């Protein structure tokens, strides 16, 4: 008996229906395979300190969004598909697999597995089932405008000997996430930004044709193949070269517009320094230009209302507020120092009376306030504080800090150990001066600490 997998085979990524015609919105196909999967837990990073940010090629698979019946989901392989799997800097399409008039299963992510496109869904679909696909066209058009716009922008930058080193498409989930960026070897001058913006928009108005060439294996050497993923077997796959008129030709697996006019417009925004002389040029294209403008305008209206000023008065208003804030912070610091000196005298009296452990809790103070105590006492006793002092700040459900110093080192460590056993989120260290931070005080922890020190009086 012939199996379903023998009857039907899936089209390889590179020759998918969505890559042959990026404007298909519906499509009939057949289920080739369906595999039950269990989400993998994110691997914990073993590295310490700051991690280096790495440019990615679009959205990462978000299995959590599937929300998982009994911790399971399914990957469906189809004979062919109009839903593009994430790759080439372009995020995955979304859409639906329609089984019947009253049965439709959402596809939240499509991933490339070697040469195969795998559609992630919450329900199993039996191999051999004829189905229809429905594409989220609004999302696809947006992704194509950003991707084709990036190709066009990179082509103009190439003409200025500024190669694109990497790029990332914004997810579009918020105003700030509408923005894409590409990385180039150096920062552009303001004049260059203006010139490049004008050049790209001029090419958009020219409405240059965009097409895809599929060269044979004998012509592969004429094209750049170094960015083809290692797990993509080009000998069994398809090499695609995207042409923008006579302006540009680049290997790319993504879906693209038919002409530059459909990009509609491009806006170059700010630049950020990343490494060496490299710079990230932030930009957006197509419908995102209007979305971003509307979103930023709304934010700006709120700012103007809060500042009670007009647009051209914002800089002056902020400068004045900044000056006032600096003065207020300076005055506040002086008052805190004066308060610390007054409280310091009270602590000195307790220490001089021979109280072995002096404990003080300040609900609304900060670590900086506690440090002022330490500096003052250290100076008063010439760095030889005779008794142990424990200072704590913070309130229930809020973060805080603890300092333990003075007296015998063994007592400092003993008290630190006791406090760590009473406050779950307390982390810190030190020998003669122990200092720690509290993530958030839980119910009863502050009271437990106070009772501990009351018993020592």
Task: For residues 153 and 125, state if they share a domain.
Answer: no
Task: For residues 380 and 423, state if they share a domain.
Answer: yes
Task: Indicate the residue among 135, 157, 174 that finishes a domain.
Answer: 135
Model pLDDT for residues 409-447, shown as the tens digit of each residue: 999 999 999 999 999 999 999 988 999 999 999 999 999
Task: For residues 79 and 199, state if they share a domain.
Answer: no
Is 368 domain-assigned? yes
**Overall domain count for the chain:** 3
Task: For residues 237 and 288, state if they share a domain.
Answer: yes
Which CATH number covers residue 83?
2.40.30.130
Q: What is the mean pLDDT of residues 443-453?
A: 93
Is 328 domain-assigned? no
Is 331 domain-assigned? no
Model pLDDT for residues 245-267, shown as the tens digit of each residue: 999 999 999 999 999 999 999 99
Model pLDDT for residues 346-389, shown as the tens digit of each residue: 888 888 888 889 999 998 888 888 888 888 888 888 888 999 99
The pLDDT assigned to 339 comes to 77
Task: For residues 204 and 146, state if they share a domain.
Answer: yes
Task: For residues 81 and 186, state if they share a domain.
Answer: no
The pLDDT assigned to 41 comes to 66
Is 286 domain-assigned? yes
Which CATH number covers residue 184?
3.30.980.10
The pLDDT assigned to 347 comes to 84
Task: For residues 77 and 109, state if they share a domain.
Answer: yes
The pLDDT assigned to 413 comes to 94
Task: For residues 130 and 252, state if they share a domain.
Answer: no
Task: For residues 162 and 252, state if they share a domain.
Answer: yes
> Residue 273 belongs to what domain range?
140-298
- Flag whether the pTM goes above 0.85: no
Nearby residues of 157 by Cβ (< 8 Å), 6 or more positions away? 163, 164, 182, 184, 196
Task: For residues 15 and 129, state if they share a domain.
Answer: yes
Task: Indicate the residue among 71, 102, 135 that finishes a domain.
Answer: 135
Task: For residues 406 and 284, state if they share a domain.
Answer: no
Q: What is the mean pLDDT of residues 84-93?
A: 94
Model pLDDT for residues 40-75, shown as the tens digit of each residue: 765 555 444 443 334 444 444 444 444 545 578 999
Task: For residues 346 and 249, state if they share a domain.
Answer: no
Task: Indicate the residue among 116, 135, 154 that finishes a domain.
Answer: 135
Which CATH number covers residue 350?
3.10.310.40
Is 303 domain-assigned? no
- CA end-to-end span of the chain: 87
Is 276 domain-assigned? yes
Is 321 domain-assigned? no
Is 317 domain-assigned? no
Q: Which percentage of the chain shows pLDDT scores above 70?
A: 92
């Amino acid at each position: 008996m012939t199996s379903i997998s023998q009857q039907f085979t899936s089209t390889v990524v590179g020759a998918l229906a969505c890559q042959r015609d990026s404007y298909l919105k519906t499509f009939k196909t057949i289920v080739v395979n369906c595999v039950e999967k269990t989400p993998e837990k994110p691997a914990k990073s073993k590295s310490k300190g700051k991690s280096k940010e790495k440019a990615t090629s679009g959205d990462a698979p978000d299995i959590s969004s599937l929300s998982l019946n009994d911790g399971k989901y399914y990957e469906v392989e189809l004979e062919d598909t109009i839903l593009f799997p994430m790759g080439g800097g372009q995020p995955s399409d979304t859409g639906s697999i329609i089984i019947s008039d009253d049965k439709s299963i959402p596809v939240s992510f499509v991933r490339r597995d070697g040469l195969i496109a795998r559609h992630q869904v919450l329900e199993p679909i039996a191999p051999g089932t004829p189905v229809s696909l429905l594409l989220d066209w609004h999302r696809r058009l947006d992704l194509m405008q950003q991707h084709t716009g990036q190709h066009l922008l990179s082509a103009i930058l190439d003409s200025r000997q500024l190669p694109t080193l990497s790029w990332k498409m914004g997810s579009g989930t918020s105003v700030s996430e509408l923005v894409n960026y590409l990385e180039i070897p150096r920062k552009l001058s303001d004049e260059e930004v203006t010139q490049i913006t004008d050049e790209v928009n001029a090419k958009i108005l020219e409405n240059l044709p965009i097409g895809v060439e599929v060269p044979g294996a004998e012509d592969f050497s004429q094209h750049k193949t170094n960015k083809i993923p290692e797990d993509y077997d080009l000998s069994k796959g398809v090499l695609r070269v995207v042409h923008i008129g006579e302006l540009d030709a680049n290997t790319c697996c993504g879906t693209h517009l038919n002409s530059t006019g459909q990009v509609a417009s491009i806006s170059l925004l700010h630049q950020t320094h990343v490494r060496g002389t490299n710079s990230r040029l932030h930009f957006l294209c197509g419908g995102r230009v209007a979305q971003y403008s509307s979103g930023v305008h709304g934010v700006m209206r709120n700012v103007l209302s809060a500042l009670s000023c007009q647009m051209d008065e914002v800089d002056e208003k902020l400068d004045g507020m900044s000056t006032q804030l600096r003065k207020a912070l300076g005055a506040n610091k002086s008052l805190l120092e004066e308060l610390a000196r007054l409280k310091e005298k009270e602590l000195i009296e307790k220490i001089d009376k021979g109280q072995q452990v002096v404990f003080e809790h300040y609900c609304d103070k900060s670590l900086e306030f506690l440090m002022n105590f330490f500096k003052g006492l250290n100076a008063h006793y010439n760095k030889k504080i005779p008794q142990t002092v424990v200072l704590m700040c913070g309130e229930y459900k809020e973060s805080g800090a603890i300092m333990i110093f003075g007296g015998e080192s063994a007592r400092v460590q003993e008290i630190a150990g006791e406090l760590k056993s009473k406050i779950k989120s307390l982390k810190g260290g030190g020998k003669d001066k122990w200092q720690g931070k509290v993530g958030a005080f839980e119910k009863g922890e502050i009271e437990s600490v106070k009772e501990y020190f009351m018993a020592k009086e």
